[in-house]
Amino acid sequence: MGNQRGINMGIWDDPFFKKMSAAERAFYLYLLTNGHATGIGIYQIARTIMALELGISRESVQALIDRFALEYKLIRFNPETSEIAIKDWGKWIKLEGRKRDKIPEFRGVKEHSLIPYVSESIANPKIRNLYESFCKQEQGLS
């Protein structure tokens, strides 16, 4: 994984994004672009790390996670594995040009149910197929 990732500037015109508070926008952009993020929209990150990097309390981070997961339904967070999955990852992050051998991050995902959760929002069928193929491979179906 490189340290550069393109983000769709259309996020600023998205009606849902426009309705978010400044703190919520900052949190969402952080989730999409922080240094722990992988190329697949699923990664491991501790709430303590998020709090330190955002300069807010751990309680504030938890409140944002809860709002984004339960109310907005934009993320899933597994507290046991500290894995976060961003539902609209494929909508906001440039994914074109990725190949199966360029996405080793799939093997690092501990909760495999997060993979189809992210793939649902990927419009490009070739990219979405990478996610689905990995799931089938793990289930021994391919």
Q: What are phi and psi of 84, to 5 degrees?
A: -120, 140
Q: With a cut of 60, say whether residue 56 has pLDDT above it.
A: yes
Q: What are phi and psi of 94, to 5 degrees?
A: -70, 120
Span 70-98, mean pLDDT?
Answer: 88
Mean pLDDT of the chain: 87
Q: With a cut of 50, say whether residue 6 has pLDDT above it.
A: yes
Q: With a cut of 90, say whether residue 23 has pLDDT above it.
A: yes
Span 30-50, mean pLDDT?
Answer: 94
Give the start-end residues of each E strand in 1-142. 42-44, 75-78, 83-86
Residue with tokens 């600023």: 12
Q: Please report the domains of the chain, with CATH numbers, ordered by start residue.
A: 9-138 (1.10.10.10)
Span 34-55, mean pLDDT?
Answer: 95
Share of the chain above pLDDT 90, in %: 61
Q: With a cut of 50, say whether residue 142 has pLDDT above it.
A: no
CA atoms within 13 A on the CB side of 9: 0
Residue 139's pLDDT is what? 65
Q: Compute the 3-state secondary structure of the chain and give helix, strand, coil in percent, each to the nearest 5.
A: 55, 10, 40
The rounded Cα 111 to chain-centroid distance in angstroms is: 13
Residue 1's pLDDT is what? 43
